[in-house]
């Protein structure tokens, strides 16, 4: 017998690695024991259209999907996906830099370049990875990333993955951004990270003023347009287009999981050295590329979004009408007017938020429930995201459902 095979003494078990989650487990059990349903465990049993699904056996209006332009059931988008599935198979089984770049990935990048009018476009497997990749790669040890305190988790995680020094400024506060930039060494590399629309409250960034401040301090600028693509600006490029700062923004990050209606992420840029990122960006290199059906649906959708003026106008009409309707009912909203396609209804605490969420679901309306850490500290809210496919009649029904649920839960009088 090989002495190496002899039984080794078994060490006592180390600390329970799950112990740190005990408070969360207890909080969740306490909540569910009151009879409420799990707001984070919902299943769409059947999806009928961009605005309707069967949930718990009941036909439900969807008002929490980010499917802003209703592209998920577009017949051309679906046909493109089916054809790619037939022609190229179900997946690439490889990284973009090895066997994972098909004709469709290139075509998708061409569609993005056309949509944004840029020289370069790089498609990632998700928007999360696009932010992870850009933040961790572009700024190094001696550099600074200056970001809004309410930035999306993918931006924060990208910062944690990289080596740059992180400076946060108060949400949407131009003066605080200027103050913090002024304290940094003049010669240091600087990247200011902004979002066109902030998804928790649905407010938009004062991009013109912020980009002006960033440029005054010699910083590069990235704008995440995840929630602005499709319906802001003359071409639907996002808030940065509407703010007329296109020529001063070095990078735009986006996702296919919202207005485009599928999954995937991207960065577009005019920077002459941009293509080197394909070699050094780990979340691009060390993961499999998107399936051919996904890039085909994305490319088709992006090309259709270039000519979606009617949908854009209808989406804005829906958003303004819902904001006004909820305000008139007496709900507390995060923004004084509809600034985007997200309307956030602020509530007092977690219990009220869950009760209101459940009352809406029982009435046949699905909205997102959001709580810290996704939201700013102490903020509990129900987030409504409008879709260009919501009909006038549906928006009317939605307002009525809010009225009923609000009165039943005592949120409004």
Q: Which is nearer to ligand PMP, 195 or 242 (CB)?
A: 195
- Residues 370 and 383: their CA atoms lie apart, in Å, by 7
- Residues 116 and 129: their CA atoms lie apart, in Å, by 20
Q: Does the annotation mark 258 as catalytic?
A: yes
Q: Which is nearer to ligand PMP, 147 or 405 (CB)?
A: 147
How many Cβ atoms are within 10 Å of 29's Cβ, its own excluded? 9
Per CB under 6 A, does 257 bind ligand PMP?
yes
Per CB under 6 A, does 126 bind ligand PMP?
yes
- Catalytic residue, from 154, 199, 293, 319: name it: 199
Cα–Cα distance list, 172 to 184, 195, 227, 255, 363 (Å):
19, 10, 16, 22, 36
Q: Which is nearer to ligand PMP, 128 or 251 (CB)?
A: 128
- The enclosing H or E element of 300 equals helix 292-305
- The enclosing H or E element of 121 equals strand 120-124
Indicate which single residue of 158, 162, 202, 265 sits in contact with ligand PMP (rule: CB under 6 A): 265
- Catalytic residue, from 105, 152, 190, 227: name it: 227
Are 383 and 319 contacting, i.e. CB atoms less than 8 angstroms apart?
A: no
- Residues 347 and 144: their CA atoms lie apart, in Å, by 36
Q: Which is nearer to ligand PMP, 128 or 331 (CB)?
A: 128
Nearest to 383, CA basis, from 229, 227, 202, 257: 202
Q: Which is nearer to ligand PMP, 156 or 274 (CB)?
A: 156
Least Cβ distance, residue 45 to ligand PMP (angstroms): 22
The residue range among 72-80, 121-129, 365-373, 397-405 that interacts with ligand PMP, by the rule CB under 6 A, is 121-129
Site string for ligand PMP, 290-329 (x = CB under 6 A): ----------------------------------------
- Residues 338 and 324: their CA atoms lie apart, in Å, by 8
Per CB under 6 A, does 152 bind ligand PMP?
yes
Q: Which is nearer to ligand PMP, 131 or 319 (CB)?
A: 131
Least Cβ distance, residue 255 to ligand PMP (angstroms): 3
**Residue position matching structure tokens 């400024």:** 169
Least Cβ distance, residue 199 to ligand PMP (angstroms): 4
CB under 8 Å to 177, separation ≥6 — which residues? 146, 169, 192, 210, 213, 214
The residue range among 120-128, 304-312, 328-336, 403-411 that interacts with ligand PMP, by the rule CB under 6 A, is 120-128
The residue range among 21-29, 52-60, 122-130, 203-211 that interacts with ligand PMP, by the rule CB under 6 A, is 122-130
DSSP string, 354-381: HHHHHHHHHHTEE-EEE-TTTSSTT-EE
Least Cβ distance, residue 141 to ligand PMP (angstroms): 25
- Residues 250 and 269: their CA atoms lie apart, in Å, by 6
Least Cβ distance, residue 1 to ligand PMP (angstroms): 53
Are 92 and 291 contacting, i.e. CB atoms less than 8 angstroms apart?
A: yes
Q: Which is nearer to ligand PMP, 127 or 406 (CB)?
A: 127
Least Cβ distance, residue 11 to ligand PMP (angstroms): 40
For residue 288, the 8-state DSSP code is B
In angstroms, what is the C-alpha Rg of the chain?
23
Least Cβ distance, residue 187 to ligand PMP (angstroms): 31
Per CB under 6 A, does 339 bind ligand PMP?
no
Are 203 and 238 contacting, i.e. CB atoms less than 8 angstroms apart?
A: no
Identify residues 180-239 at the interface with ligand PMP (CB under 6 A): 195, 199, 224, 226
For residue 95, the 8-state DSSP code is B
Task: Determine the residue with CB nearest ligand PMP.
Answer: 127
- Catalytic residue, from 105, 120, 152, 258: name it: 258
Per CB under 6 A, does 127 bind ligand PMP?
yes
- Residues 257 and 226: their CA atoms lie apart, in Å, by 8
Q: Which residues have a catalytic role annotated?
A: 199, 227, 258
Task: Give residues in contact with ligand PMP (CB under 6 A).
Answer: 126-128, 131, 152, 154, 195, 199, 224, 226, 255, 257, 265
């Amino acid at each position: 017998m090989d002495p190496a095979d002899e039984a080794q003494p078994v060490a006592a078990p180390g600390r329970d690695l799950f112990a740190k989650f005990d408070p969360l487990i207890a909080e969740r059990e306490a909540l569910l024991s009151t009879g409420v349903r799990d707001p984070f465990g919902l299943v769409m049993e059947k999806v009928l259209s961009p605005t309707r699904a069967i949930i718990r056996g009941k036909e439900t209006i969807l008002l929490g999907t980010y499917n802003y332009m209703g592209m998920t059931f577009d017949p051309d988008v679906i046909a493109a996906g089916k054809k790619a599935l037939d022609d190229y198979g179900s997946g690439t089984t490889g990284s973009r830099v090895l066997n994972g770049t098909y004709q469709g990935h290139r075509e998708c990048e061409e569609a993005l370049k056309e949509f944004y009018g840029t020289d370069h476009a790089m498609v990632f497997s998700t928007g999360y990875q696009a932010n992870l990749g850009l933040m961790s790669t572009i700024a190094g040890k001696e550099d600074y990333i200056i970001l809004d305190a309410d930035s999306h988790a993918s931006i924060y995680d990208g910062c944690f993955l990289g080596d740059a020094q992180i400076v946060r400024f108060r949400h949407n506060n131009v003066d605080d951004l200027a103050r913090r930039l002024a304290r940094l060494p003049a010669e240091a590399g600087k990247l200011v990270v902004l979002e066109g629309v902030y998804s928790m409250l649905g407010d938009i960034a004062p991009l013109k003023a912020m980009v002006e401040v960033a440029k005054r301090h010699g910083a590069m600028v990235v704008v995440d347009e995840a929630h602005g693509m499709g319906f802001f600006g003359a071409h639907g490029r996002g808030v940065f287009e509407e703010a007329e700062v296109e020529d001063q923004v070095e990078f735009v990050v986006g996702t296919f999981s919202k207005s485009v209606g599928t999954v995937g992420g991207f960065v577009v840029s005019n920077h002459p050295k941009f293509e080197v990122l394909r070699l050094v960006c780990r979340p691009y290199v060390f993961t499999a590329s998107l399936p051919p059906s996904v890039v085909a649906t994305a490319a088709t959708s992006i090309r259709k979004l270039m000519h979606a003026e009617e949908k854009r106008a209808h989406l804005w009409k829906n958003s303004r009408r819902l904001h006004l309707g909820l305000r008139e009912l007496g709900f507390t909203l995060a923004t004084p007017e509809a600034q985007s396609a997200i309307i956030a209804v602020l509530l007092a605490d977690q219990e009220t938020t869950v009760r209101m969420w459940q009352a809406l679901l029982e009435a046949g309306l699905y909205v997102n429930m959001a709580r810290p850490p996704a939201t700013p500290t102490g903020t509990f809210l129900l987030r409504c995201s409008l879709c260009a496919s919501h009909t006038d009649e549906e928006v009317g029904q939605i307002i009525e459902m809010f009225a009923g649920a609000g009165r039943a839960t005592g949120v409004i009088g």
